[in-house]
Chains A and B, each alone.
Chain A
Amino acid sequence: MTATTPKARGIEEVPLIVEQIDPELERRKRLPIGAWLAGGWMVLIMGAALLAPVLPLNDPNAEVASIPKLAPGQEGLIFGADGNGRDMFARLIFGARVSLTIAFTAVILALIIGGLLGLLAGYYRNWIGNVLASLFDIMLAIPALVLALALVAVLKGNPAENEGGLSGQVILIIAICIVSIPALARITRANTMAWSKREFVTAAKAQGATSGRILFREILPNVLPAMAYITLLGIAIAIVAEGGLALLGAGVDPPTATWGNMIDAGRQDMDEAPFIMFIPIGAMFITVMALNYLGDVVRTHFDVRESAL
């Protein structure tokens, strides 16, 4: 364990420190089984949503059942048919396609914009940082649902003259994205502030690193786990938000299948055929649970240990 190094000129008896680095520490922490389940569900639902057009599914908007509200399992429709006789299973998958696209695109856009603003606000502790921080606070003070509704209303404009305007999906993406930015920015900012105080940042400055290098090479990698966690949580919230907006009539226009629209449509038949509403609710519930759980896994798994013992 102690050896003299031939190359180290002029250094007497330098003990080579090679012991003590336990190979076990190297091994990645094992993922809990729940993480595999949650991850598996997300792969399944996202894969199905992505491949929906090429999968052997019924047209989600065609009346395929002999009667409306056909019970699950009959006529080869495993989830039955809705009030218009449309295949519930096909609608669920095509609905996932729209709902998940909206949620993922909106939150990832928000992550890029909010994360960048949060990094800047946390790193520059001068007027730039203060202005940005106040902006986030003001936006957070407005109830998110109200803000989203208002944004949808403004973006949709007058339906009569809505020729060549934005599609319903894009409007929802923009609205949910804007609503998500301040929360993502706040979390990023708080983490950035904490890491900016660390001495390795001072050390990087002392070596002549530029601010950009410090932000993206020193600070960002440390803030990323927190950002990933809040993003997964944000996507879960966005999925629920799409449903909520649909119920308030501010979602994607029917008959497009989305999970929100399916729940909204199922409401009228709740007494006779509750499955029409509960199947999309169930899908939404499992997806939101899986995302939340994955968020926790990301946080604990990537939470680097800073010191042995």
Chain B
Amino acid sequence: MAGTGTAHLRDASEALLRVEDLVVEFRSGRKQKVHAVTEVNLDVLPGETLGLVGESGCGKSTTGKAIMQLPPPTSGRVVFDGTDLTQLSGNDLRQVRTQVQMIFQDPISSLNPRRKVEEIIAEGLDIWKVGTKEERAAKVDEMLLTVGMDPEVAKGRRPFQFSGGQCQRISIARAVITEPKLIVCDEPVSALDVSVQAQILNLLEDMKAQYGLTMIFIAHDLAVVKNISDRVAVMYLGRLCEVGDPDVLYAQPAHPYTAALLSAIPVPDPTVRPDTRQTLGGEIPSPLAPPSGCRFRTRCPRADQVCKDQVPEMTEVAPHQYVACHHPIAPGESVASVELAGARA
């Protein structure tokens, strides 16, 4: 991917969140710059779940945090509900942030070990002095029940007394209690066992339905992302590769990177021999000096001179499928790495 362009964006008036030309760079040492996120355009419609996938270091978490302005991006616009968050500061920003909440990857790190569960969950209400003390306590009980925990047992305890999955439930309760419009889930199930992962994914779907949430779901597991998302955006080394409906995108990936990611997923079926699948070689290059043109070209079997010279633009290759690639995989085309994904779909 490594692409740019806005073909995949929908009408700005419909979107709850619209991210335009988002750039995040960090200084590293004296002269070097980490190009964490480069010219990313995204939008999320109300009630939609956008899945953001890629390997570690692709900038997906940085994008999520930049939307929250934690820290604010280097440049670009983050328009939420008609307000450009990058233009806000101080109290205005604090106020808006309650509308956008986050759920983190590490269930242990994201809860303050010194505070009781009831204090952790009530934090958002306490800060803004919502209602009376009694009303807040009642709301905490209600939230705990909603996320499947017994308030009488849970609220007086501290996070270390809970398992990873239970901590994640507490995090979800904390994020939802202020009734935000958008929740950014940053790898919320990556640290959990598969059995617990399913519980949390189901819970997120339930919460979304009950509270009318819009979600950005960041993960590196494509199967998880497909399960929960209405739209998926694949990122590589700070840029977007491919955006589309998961059913379409997974059935017929157009970007060679998406195809490679799909083929790397372990399949719980011993009749699928892993060695028949082509795994992606090499590793993600350093974001200090990303390759010119298409950033995926150094690992791409289809790369040529054009990929080196020009950054590919996002184009629509099929209805609801947008790809930033000079040589996208055509529908029906047989590529070693896509065979399996295609066959199973």
Contacts and interface: CB of A to CB of B under 8 A. Distances in A.
Contacts, number: 123
A222 B109 contact: no
Interface stretch (A4-12, A31-39, A172-180): A4-12
A146 interface: no
Interface in B55-111: 65, 68, 70, 94-95, 97-98, 100-102, 104-106, 108-111
B97 A200 contact: no
B114 A222 contact: yes
B161 A222 contact: no
30 contacts: A5-B145, A8-B148, A10-B206, A14-B145, A14-B148, A16-B149, A17-B150, A18-B150, A18-B153, A21-B154, A26-B157, A199-B109, A200-B112, A200-B120, A202-B65, A202-B104, A202-B110, A203-B104, A203-B171, A206-B70, A206-B100, A207-B101, A207-B127, A208-B127, A208-B128, A209-B123, A222-B114, A307-B159, A308-B161, A308-B163
Interface in B122-175: 123-124, 127-128, 142, 145-150, 153-154, 157-164, 166, 169, 171, 174-175
A43 to B, nearest CB: 27
A221 B114 contact: yes
Contacts of B98: 207-208
Interface string A184-208: 0000000000000011101111111
Contacts of A203: 102, 104, 110, 123, 171, 174-175
Given A10-B210, A200-B111, A304-B114, A208 B94 contact: yes
A11 B100 CA distance: 23
B113 A222 contact: yes
> Counting chain A CB atoms within 10 Å of each CB, which of B109, B162, B171, B199 scores highest?
B109
Given A202-B70, A208-B127, A17 B114 contact: no
A55 B169 CA distance: 59
Nearest to A10: B210
B148 A207 contact: no
B146 A17 contact: no
A25 B166 CA distance: 16
A7 B142 contact: yes
Nearest to A12: B206
Contact of A198 (B68, B109, B124, B163): B109
A206 B162 contact: no
Contact of A306 (B68, B145, B159, B174): B159
Contacts of A221: 112, 114-115
Interface residues of B, number: 53
Interface in B321-338: none
Contacts of A200: 109-112, 120
B252 interface: no
A44 B31 CA distance: 61
A218 interface: yes
A8 B206 CA distance: 11
B178 interface: yes
Contacts of B158: 304
B253 to A, nearest CB: 32
B127 to A, nearest CB: 5
How many interface residues does chain A have, given as a range? Answer: 35 or more
Interface in A267-309: 304-308
Given A20-B163, A207-B101, A208-B127, A15 B210 contact: no
Interface of A: 5, 7-12, 14-18, 20-21, 25-26, 198-200, 202-210, 213, 218, 221-222, 304-308
Given A21-B153, A21-B161, 4 more contacts: A17-B150, A199-B105, A205-B70, A307-B160
Nearest to B210: A10
B272 interface: no
Contact of B113 (A16, A18, A21, A306): A306
B209 interface: yes
Contacts of A21: 153-154, 157, 161-162
Contacts of A17: 148-150, 154, 166, 169
A4 to B, nearest CB: 10
A209 B95 CA distance: 10
B117 to A, nearest CB: 11
A5 B101 CA distance: 26
Interface in B222-265: none
A226 B336 CA distance: 57
Contacts of A11: 146, 148, 206, 210
Given A12-B206, A213-B127, A7 B145 contact: yes
Contacts of A222: 112-114
Given A199-B110, A221-B115, A306-B108, A208 B95 contact: yes
B70, B114, B128, B175 interface centre (most CB from chain A within 10 Å)? B114
A309 to B, nearest CB: 8
Contacts of A304: 113-114, 158, 160
Contacts of A20: 163
Contacts of B171: 203
